[in-house]
Amino acid sequence: MRFAPSPTGLLHIGGARTALYNWLQARHDGGAMILRIEDTDRERSTPDNVEQILDALRWLELEWDEGPKSQYERGDRHVEVLGSLLASGAAYRDPATSQDVKAWKDRHGADRGYRGEASDDPGAAVRLRVPDDGDTIVQDLIRGEVRFPNAAADDFVIARGDGSVLYNFAVAVDDADMGITDVIRGDDHLSNTPKQLLVMEAMGVEPPRYAHLPLLHGPDGKKLSKRNGAASVQELRERGYLPAAVRNYLALLGWGTGDDTTVMSTEQLIERFDVSDVGRSSAIFDEQKLRWLNGRFMREMALDEYTAVVARHLGREPDERLRAACSIVQDKAQTLNEVWPLVAFLFEEPVTDEKAWRKVMKDGAFPLLEEAHAALSGVDPFEPGQIERALASVLAERDVKPGKLYQPIRVAITGGTVSPGIFESLAALGREAALRRMRRALDRDRKARRNG
């Protein structure tokens, strides 16, 4: 197997799925995955772009077995094979496609015409001879047999007049030399495949098996882009997704198990994956479904692992304080980015949402909050079960629904209306800090009513 990206920017989601499928198939078959960087576009193939691809693969934890190999650095080998094909007659120089046709005319006369025949002119482009009849057949593992009539194809250019080879020639030579047995790539490459097969036939080598993946679309049915979803692996990382969840979700974009299993470990994916089970229809990348799956993975992590992952994402130390914060938010956050807004009140004084505060303090909330403050003052130990019982007594005495009491407390201690469970939040904050914030809110409200 090989994954062969062009380093012209960030690794987009479709490319990440292609890398994953190659990796899963290699691991499933007990084979190797080669990482080859197709960097012949020297203007765009910068070291930074190469590093961005490597960074994305490392974050996804898709380790490669060989490489990264530079296609550009294999230029001498490409020229060597090109010379062999010229010597055998499988390829020929065509001055009509030279980048310097005018110079050729000056040397040979403008009235000679151009018949596409062989020439010893070193400036002429090189074409591969395509058979006049028959078909070039792609036995695709996903699409089945795909035929390309040779009569409809011209002798295509495999090297420019300056001697540099073109993409389809270089890819065919590299795949042959590297012993690639399977090629999994997007179906936008399907039209390239017959050309690569013809080059390999001219070389006298056995071609690999091909599987062309339907391209990914966004929820709007259009080709996936920044407009309708995250466009790159790095964006998913920045949005707080877990590598394991991303691997699981990307694997399901076009492939699935017979029993419709959704949540799978990487080991299960390796065991069950087979590219021949990929469907022919375009798959939809829906970030809402990824968020749900990511939340599942986060909830199922051991607390120490969860704390370590959150700490790394936040750039903090995984100390006991953060561990306590993680313990009350683990069942609520769906991405790592959602953790800090939910637990920040435990680490810093909150800024109160004035609109939320005015809303919750209507309809008699002030005396409820005063009674809650008094009830919590005597709670010892200050832990969720004891806190719940103390507040339950206030609810029973006042005969009000829980939200009428819990929301004013929540806004008082966190500054907003969204938090982990109220009992767990109070316990994690601690009695002294919780009572102080509640009293500050009461004093503030009393002053506002006195002045208003």
* Residue-averaged pLDDT of the chain: 90
Q: What percent of the chain has pLDDT over 90?
A: 79
224-256 per-position pLDDT tens digit = 765 555 679 999 999 999 999 999 999 999 998
Residue 110 in tokens: 């403008």
Strands (E), 277-400: 283-284
DSSP 165-232: BPHHHHHHHHHHHTT--EEEEEGGGGGGHHHHHHHHHHHT-PPPEEEEEPPEE-TTSSBP-TTSS--B
CATH 3.40.50.300 fits 354-451, yes or no: no
Residue 103 has pLDDT above 70, yes or no: no
Q: Cα separation of 26 and 299, whole Å?
A: 30
69 is catalytic: no
Torsion of CA 373, 379, 381, 387, to 10 degrees: -70
Residue 260 in tokens: 């419709």
For the chain, the structural domain boundaries read 75-213, 303-346, 354-451
151-207 per-position pLDDT tens digit = 999 999 999 988 889 999 999 999 999 999 999 999 999 999 999 999 999 999 999
253-282 per-position pLDDT tens digit = 999 887 888 999 999 999 999 999 999 999
pLDDT of residue 116: 38
Catalytic entry in 222, 223, 226, 447: 226
Question: pLDDT band at residue 333, thresholds of 50, 70 and 90?
Answer: very high
Q: Which CATH number fits domain 75-213: 3.90.1150.10, 1.10.287.130, 3.40.50.620, 3.40.50.720?
A: 3.40.50.620
Residue 106 has pLDDT above 60, yes or no: no
Residue 103 in tokens: 């110079």
Q: What percent of the chain has pLDDT over 70?
A: 92
Question: pLDDT band at residue 107, thresholds of 50, 70 and 90?
Answer: low
pLDDT of residue 117: 39
pLDDT of residue 431: 96
Q: Using CA of residue 340, residue 342, residue 343, residue 345, what is the dihedral sign?
A: positive
Q: Which residues contact 38 (CB under 8 A, 6 or more apart)?
A: 4, 5, 6, 7, 71, 167, 170, 171
Residue 433 has pLDDT above 70, yes or no: yes
Radius of gyration of the chain (CA): 32
Question: pLDDT band at residue 113, thresholds of 50, 70 and 90?
Answer: very low
pLDDT of residue 135: 96
